[in-house]
Amino acid sequence: MSQTYGSIFLLKLGSKNLAVVSDPELANQVLHTQGVEFGSRPRNVVFDIFTGNGQDMVFTIYGDHWRKMRRIMTLPFFTNKVVHQYSGMWGEEIDLVVRDLNNNIEKVSKEGIVIRRRLQLMLYNIMYRMMFDAKFESQEDPLFIEATRFNSERSQLAQSFEYNYGDFIPLLRPFLRGYLNKCRDLQSRRLAFFNNYYVEKRRKMMAENGEKHQISCAMDHIIDAQKKGEITEENVLYIVENINVAAIETTLWSMEWAIAEVETLRLHTPIPLLVPHMNLEEAKLGGYTIPKETKVVVNAWWLANNPKWWKNPSEFRPERFLEEDGGTQAVVGGGNVDFRFLPFGVGRRSCPGIILALPILGLVIGKLVSNFEMHAPQGPEKIDVGERGGQFSLHIANHSTVVFKPIGGSIVKA
């Protein structure tokens, strides 16, 4: 549509306005230079349920609550100190993936394996060890099955297009009653699961240890902030909610794309339109007036694949990042940002998880390609990279079966 209607256009969807930005300079304005004006998030009837009406960090409006939640989440999750603290543990979990492939090499080297399932266990263990100092024993662990089922159902309900009409035409919302009740029931059971099996265990441990307790995971830090009155018990649970969805699932999607085609974050940005922004008041953008409370999306996929800014964008040519200068850079936070390539966004509402996702993604793919040759199973010439999208995400439609053959023909050590 941007090729027809230009680098910025406004759609009227019932009672809602949607502005689509498909130009690096305009993206710079939305995300950076006018980041305060466009710093809020639009919500809808389903996301109000899954965020407790904005009690989380990702989907809350721009303001004091967001600043507080971002600060409290950053310290135990998103700093260089955290990366150094946990990088050894990440290596352990990645080595276990290699070990399991080697232990089942007869099958995985001939028939292949749906590697997503094993990578999912690895990622959950990485994040749950960081968050709760807890670990799942295997893919058959009942708690792992429960956690992944809850999060999968949440993603399906939240990302479905089935309920959009109730947002666009409020008079039709009564017809969503059954759908919304299903969302409320799931969220109630899901938050109770997080609380009963993980959060309360940390609370109990901290209470038993008293003043002698030493903070040993992110949840200890978050509970400590709640005890000081900085956040509520509900906020604690919605931080857990954000990590389960925003940190784990999006990284897993990127790993699947990376295994299928290597250059993942440009060709298949996990959230092609980024998480939507919103202006609370009327604003100007690119010379146009944007009505207040307009949902503003940045077409990050088109920015990264437009032949106007990239030479042969569909080709795998990683050296392009060294050779091609789109003239679309700006200084943000002390560093240069290329606004053609924004898989994590940029500015105030950028994804803080970039500091974890990039090294983990690199370590996993590096370990796999250094130990194994990866192929499509016998029959297909290449891995199926058919797409399936939701309201925000773009991921592989069919989880790939991949054949892993040890490099050199012999089993290698992790």
Q: Decide if 48 contacts 282 (C-beta within 8 A).
A: no
Give tens-digit pLDDT for 67-89.
999 999 999 999 999 999 999 99
- The verdict on pTM exceeding 0.85 is yes
- 318 vs 94: which has the higher pLDDT: 94
Give tens-digit pLDDT for 175-223.
999 999 999 999 999 999 999 999 999 999 999 999 899 999 999 999 9
Q: Binding site for heme: which residues?
A: 351
Q: How far apart are CA 389 and CA 270, in angstroms?
A: 10
Instruction: Write the class of the CATH domain 2-409.
Output: mainly alpha
Per-position DSSP letters for 276-322, written without gaps between them: -EE-SS-EEETTEEE-TT-EEEE-HHHHHH-TTTSSSTTS--TTHHH
- Give the distance from CA 33 to its chain's centroid: 24
Q: How far apart are CA 260 and CA 400, in angstroms?
A: 8
Tell me the pLDDT band of 334, cut-offs 50, 70 and 90.
Answer: low
Q: How far apart are CA 191 and CA 211, in angstroms?
A: 28
Per-position DSSP letters for 59-114, written without gaps between them: SSPSSHHHHHHHHHHHHHHSSHHHHHHHHHHHHHHHHHHHHHHHHTHHHHTTT-EE
Query: SS3 of 205, please?
Result: helix
Q: Binding site: which residues?
A: 351
Q: How far apart are CA 211 and CA 172, in angstroms?
A: 54
- φ/ψ of 32, rounded to 5, equals -125, -75
Q: Hey, CA dihedral for 335, 338, 339, 344, is it positive or negative?
A: negative
Give tens-digit pLDDT for 96-128.
999 999 999 999 999 999 999 999 999 999 999
Tell me the pLDDT band of 321, cut-offs 50, 70 and 90.
Answer: confident
The DSSP letter of residue 157 is H
